[in-house]
């Protein structure tokens, strides 16, 4: 009986392993991608995650909220530009109003008055804009440090960097310091989702790839508000980057 149980268990494991390694025609670069995923995951475990954990545990929550709101307000500027580029005047106008309200009444963006006033956040980027214009995503691609992407969004990444208001901040030391703080804050916001992924995913790489691809397509199809941004936390625990597909 024990032998049969063991054989059954081995058969189940083999079946699950087979499901986890099924080739994906949208992922012809899987060998490279898995290597980059492993690199990013290791870097996250030894460096970024411990720092983000300390950040969340030791910094007062109102300070963390202020940091998140501040950089989110800057991001709304580029989101509004992409809203207009996508022909979505309503979303573009909403993001412009968010920036105006949060910058003036929200102490430079530290307070998210816009959300309290019912102004929706949209998180649009140039990769989504290209998708709206009919540019295909191309193969899935994992970038070192940046994490999940695809060929189209990788091509759009320099434009998104150019549209990032913080990249023009002077002096340079303040810009660099702020960029590090923003990265740590983003990672801290993904800590809970990362733990969930560790427990739930048989193959973390496949889980992240599929969740990322589906989320990006959903954004391009129109589901691009802040609720989608919260939902995407499950796909980027150790390979986080600005939203794309």
What would the pLDDT profile of 9-19 be if each residue is shown by its tens digit? 333 333 333 44
> Given pLDDT bands bounded at 50, 70 and 90, which one contains residue 225?
low
Q: How many domains does the chain have?
A: 1
Residue 103 lies in a domain: no
Residue 51 lies in a domain: yes
Average pLDDT of the residues in 121-134:
97
Report pLDDT digits (tens) over 30-83. Answer: 999 999 999 999 999 999 999 999 999 999 999 999 999 999 999 999 999 999
Residue 164, both tokens? 């990032």
Distance CA 126, CA 135 (A): 11
Question: Domain residues for 197?
Answer: 26-59+125-235
Residue 152 lies in a domain: yes
Report pLDDT digits (tens) over 141-160. Answer: 999 999 999 999 999 999 99
Question: Is the pLDDT assigned to residue 231 strictly greater than 60?
Answer: no
Residue 91 lies in a domain: no
- pLDDT score of 196: 72
Residue 34 lies in a domain: yes
Residue 193 lies in a domain: yes
pTM over 0.75: yes
Residue 77 lies in a domain: no
What sign has the CA pseudo-torsion 130, 132, 137, 142?
positive
Residue 39 lies in a domain: yes
- pLDDT score of 18: 41
| Nearest-10 crossing angle of helices 191-200, 172-189 | 40
Share of the chain above pLDDT 90, in %: 74
- pLDDT score of 194: 72
């Amino acid at each position: 009986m024990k032998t049969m149980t063991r054989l059954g268990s081995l058969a189940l494991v083999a079946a699950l392993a087979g499901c986890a390694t099924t080739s994906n025609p949208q992922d012809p670069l899987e060998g490279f991608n898995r290597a980059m995923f492993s690199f990013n995951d290791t870097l996250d475990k030894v460096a970024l995650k411990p720092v983000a954990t300390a950040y969340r545990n030791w910094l007062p929550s109102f300070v963390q909220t202020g940091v998140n709101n501040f950089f989110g307000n800057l991001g709304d500027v580029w989101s509004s530009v992409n809203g207009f580029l996508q022909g979505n005047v309503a979303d573009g106008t909403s993001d412009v109003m968010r920036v105006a309200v949060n910058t003036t009444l929200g102490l430079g963006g530290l307070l998210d008055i816009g959300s309290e006033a019912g102004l929706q956040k949209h998180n649009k980027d140039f990769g989504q804009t290209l998708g709206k214009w009919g540019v295909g995503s191309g193969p899935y691609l994992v970038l070192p440090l940046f994490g999940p992407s695809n060929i189209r969004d990788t091509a759009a990444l320099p434009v998104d960097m150019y549209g990032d208001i913080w990249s023009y901040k002077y002096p340079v030391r303040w810009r660099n310091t702020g960029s590090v703080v923003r990265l740590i804050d983003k990672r801290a916001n993904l800590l809970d989702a990362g733990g969930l992924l560790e427990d739930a995913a048989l193959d973390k790489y496949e889980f992240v790839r599929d969740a990322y691809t589906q989320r990006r397509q959903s954004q391009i199809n129109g589901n691009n508000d802040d609720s989608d941004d919260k939902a995407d936390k499950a796909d980027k625990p150790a390979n986080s980057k600005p939203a794309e597909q």
